[in-house]
Amino acid sequence: MTPLQNLKLLDLSRQLPGPFCSTMLADLGMDTLMVSNPTDPFGSGIPFMARNKRSMKLNLKTEAGREVLLRLVDQADVLLEGFRPGVMKRLGLDYATLAARNPRLIYCAISGYGQDGPYRDRVGHDVNYLGFAGVLGFIGHSDGAPVIPGVQIADIGAGALMAVIGILCAVIARQQTGRGQMVDISMLDGAALWNVYPVLLHLLGETPQRGRTQLTGYNACYAVYETKDHRYVTVGAYEGHFWATLCTSLGHPEFIERQWVEGDERQHILETFRAIFRTKTQAEWMAELGERDICFGPVNDVGQMLADPQLRHRGMVVDQPNGRPTLGNPVRLSDTPPSLRTPPPLFGEHTDTVLQELGFDAAGIERLRADGVIGE
């Protein structure tokens, strides 16, 4: 049993935020159908994000294609889309139209800036949302430019995961009211919410600056250090007792009372620890400090992450039948856990099956194919 197995999701989204959201829901059992334009070069997308889903080709710019979607909406619980605001309305498939047809429908739209406001029609990507939200301004060193993170914080953390929360909240609300609703997710909104510590400093009267706050590598107790083999380790000895253990372990107990010093003293401690960490390899430091109460670990590359014993044990890295690893689902439920049930489908693999479920016969399906409604 999976917790969402009786719910049907139509996923019209592509690229990253929407498909990531629907993957989380599909892993938890939601019956997910990807609906894509027959000529979409993205196809069924990144394999990891297409698992546990079916794939259907459908041209929504045709009247017949829109009619097929409306018939799918009649049976759906959730519709997810990631178009620019206004696109679905121009197609005649906006929330008001679909809700009039199926009042129980939960309609989730993920966009860069939301469905209203002065930025509504702007285009954007992860880096733009992080910039507007102030998040990007805190990533990097104090003497350099902002650094673009290697993972998509706004797309996934501020977009996809907020959409999952919104959809599940709407499902619960529907159990009480019997009605669906619109879930309007803005990646800028979600990214702004990540500013917990900077906003706290601001409200305390401080001016947070890139690379100069306690959690950005400014102090030796919370920093990244290069090792002898040109790899890196992380130190998060923020609390005093962790810091004391680190200083003692590195042979400098005199630094224990100087954790938050400024100026030349701060720089001296940083340079001392940098020199020490360069004397041994990452593996040697892990063997020496990994089990101590320091808050210590490696900066893994992707290969190391995929082989990590903790992630393997937790099912966050799973070997597929073809021997290639894939990522698991981090939601741990004791009775109804997520699962990897079906492999990523071929692009449009389930088109005919879905149409048959809607009552189309073989001749009707061939007409749709000949008219370019469902592609080849």
**Catalytic site includes residue 125:** yes
Q: How far apart are the C-alpha atoms of 118 and 128, rounded to whole Å?
A: 15
Query: Is the sign of the CA dihedral 270, 273, 279, 284 positive or negative?
Result: negative
For 184, other C-beta atoms within 10 Å of its C-beta total 18
* Annotated catalytic residue within 155, 184, 189, 352: 155
For 62, other C-beta atoms within 10 Å of its C-beta total 15
Provide, for the chain, the percentages of residues in helix, strand and coil under a 3-state DSSP scheme, each rounded to the nearest 5.
40, 15, 45
* Annotated catalytic residue within 125, 141, 252, 268: 125
**Catalytic site includes residue 155:** yes
- Which pair of tokens denotes residue 296? 């210590």
Helix, coil or strand: residue 327: strand
Which value, to the nearest 10 degrees, does the dihedral of the CA atoms of residues 16, 22, 24, 29 take? -160
Give me the residue label for tokens 């620890």: 273
Contact 368, 64 (CB under 8 A): yes
Catalytic residue numbers?
125, 155
